[in-house]
Amino acid sequence: MLKGWNGVGLERKSIAFNLYPHRRPVNDVEWCGRYKSRGKLAVNRRHNICYYLTLFSEAPFLPSKKSRSVSTFTASTSYNMGFGNSPKSPSFEKDRRGWNAAWERDLATIYGSAVEISFPGRQEPPSIIGDLATEYYEMMNTDAHVLSLTTMTTQICVLQRDLTRKSSQRFAVDDFETHWTTRCSAKEREDFILEGLVRACPELTLQRLNQHSGKGYIELLRKLTLQDVDKVPDDFNTVPNTVYDKINAVGQNPHPGLAIAKKSCDCGRVYLLTMVVWNILLAFYGESEEYGLIKGQRDDPAKLKRIKQLASDMGVKRLASETAANRQRAERHCTSCGLPASKAGVETLLACQRCKSIDRMIFYCSKKCQTADWKTGRPPHKSICGKPGAVAEAFFAPKVPEPDDDDADDDDDDDDDDFWGEPNPGYTRSPALLHQLKLLKENPQLDYVLVRPNPHPDHGIVMQDALGGMFFKICMKRAVNGQSPREVYKMFQQLEPSARGAPGFGVEKLKQQFFKEYGYNVDTIKAQFYS
Residue 282 lies inside a defined structural domain of this protein: yes
List beta partners, residue 448: 461
Q: Among 28-42, 204-218, 327-341, 347-361, which is the least confidently predicted range?
A: 28-42
Residue 251 lies inside a defined structural domain of this protein: yes
331, 357, 375: which is the final residue of a domain?
331
Average pLDDT over residues 235-260: 85
Taking the mean position of all CA atoms in its chain, how far away is CA 458?
Answer: 27
331, 355, 381: which is the final residue of a domain?
331
504 and 371: one domain?
no
pLDDT at 211: 83
475 and 513: one domain?
yes
Residue 176 lies inside a defined structural domain of this protein: yes
Residue 353 lies inside a defined structural domain of this protein: yes
pLDDT category, 30, cuts 50, 70, 90?
very low
* Distances in whole angstroms, Cα of residue 237 to Cα of each of 65, 161, 266, 338, 399: 21, 10, 10, 21, 17
Strand 67-71 to 290-294 pairing: parallel
Compute the distance between CA of residue 340 and CA of residue 69 in angstroms, rounded to an integer: 9
306 and 445: one domain?
no
Residue 450 lies inside a defined structural domain of this protein: yes
348 and 478: one domain?
no
Residue 414 lies inside a defined structural domain of this protein: no
pLDDT at 18 over 70: no
List beta partners, residue 331: 294
351 and 374: one domain?
yes
Strand 2-3 to 67-71 pairing: unpaired
Closest of 55, 11, 12 to residue 326, by C-alpha: 55
457 and 362: one domain?
no
Residue 145 lies inside a defined structural domain of this protein: yes
159 and 291: one domain?
yes
324 and 443: one domain?
no
Compute the distance between CA of residue 278 and CA of residue 273 in angstroms, rounded to an integer: 8
pLDDT category, 455, cuts 50, 70, 90?
confident
Average pLDDT over residues 229-256: 86
384 and 244: one domain?
no
Choose between 417 and 218: higher pLDDT: 218
pLDDT in tens, 167-225: 999 999 999 999 999 999 999 998 888 877 766 555 677 877 888 899 989 999 999 99
Per-residue H/E/C for 139-202: HCCCHHHHHHHHHHHHHHHHHHHHHHHHHHHHHHHCCHHHHHHHHCCHHHHHHHHHHHHHHCCC
User: Which residue range(s) make up the domain with 355?
Assistant: 334-396
pLDDT at 122: 54
Residue 408 lies inside a defined structural domain of this protein: no
pLDDT in tens, 82-123: 344 444 566 666 777 787 777 677 666 655 655 555 555 556
Taking the CA atoms of residue 323, residue 326, residue 331 and residue 335 in that order, the dihedral angle to the nearest 10 degrees is -30
CA neighbours within 13 Å on the CB side: how many for 257? 15
444 and 391: one domain?
no
226 and 326: one domain?
yes
Compute the distance between CA of residue 457 and CA of residue 452 in angstroms, rounded to an integer: 6
pLDDT at 355: 94
Query: Is residue 335 within 8 Å of residue 369, measured between CB atoms?
Result: yes
How many structural domains comprise the chain?
A: 3
pLDDT at 32: 27
Cis bond upstream, residue 398 (ω within 30): no
pLDDT in tens, 31-71: 223 443 333 223 333 333 232 222 222 333 333 334 555 44
120 and 246: one domain?
yes
pLDDT at 338: 85
> Phi and psi of 415, rounded to 5°?
-65, -40
350, 380, 396: which is the final residue of a domain?
396
